Amino acid sequence: MFAFLLPFENAILECRMTYIVTDNCIRCKYTDCVEVCPVDCFYEGENFLVIHPDECIDCGVCEPECPAEAIKPDTEPGLDKWLKINADYAKIWPNITVKKDPMPEAKEMDGVDGKFEQFFSEKPGSGD
């Protein structure tokens, strides 16, 4: 999370930016991303990872590491749903900082449409 404050008369405007994980991570979960994060802000579900928006420092180094191209800056339009999913599950899933094997079906699932509706699991992963 990158935050800065802008004085505007007596009001304080806080502007937050973060990277988030989106649909194509589901049932791929390659975990290449976790190894490069300088602040260890990835959290692991059973078949998906999320980024904690309040911990992400918006450095962007994880985005090109994702083989599934699932990591996006939340400044891209239409990602409000994914920002909420990342924020909600980062609070309850375990932290992951070490790469592990991808899901067995990762290759077949890469690029499948509508993974969230079909396959998203609320169950936590095992973390580190």
Q: How far is the CB of 13 from ligand SF4 (least distance, A)?
A: 22
Q: Give residues with Cβ within 8 angstroms of 4, minimum separation 6.
A: 14, 15
Candidates 2-10, 66-74, 87-95, 115-123; binding stretch for ligand SF4 (CB under 6 A): 66-74
User: How many Cα atoms sit within 13 Å of 95 on the Cβ side?
Assistant: 8
* In 32-105, alpha helices (H): 32-36, 80-90
Q: Give residues with Cβ within 8 angstroms of 12, minimum separation 6.
A: 5, 6
Candidates 7-15, 68-76, 77-85, 116-124; binding stretch for ligand SF4 (CB under 6 A): 68-76
What does the alpha-carbon distance between residue 51 and residue 104 come to, in Å, rounded to a whole number?
22
Candidates 4-12, 37-45, 86-94, 114-122; binding stretch for ligand SF4 (CB under 6 A): 37-45
85 binds ligand SF4 (CB under 6 A): no
Interacting residues with ligand SF4 (CB under 6 A): 19, 21, 25, 28-33, 36-39, 41, 49, 51, 56-62, 66, 68, 70-71
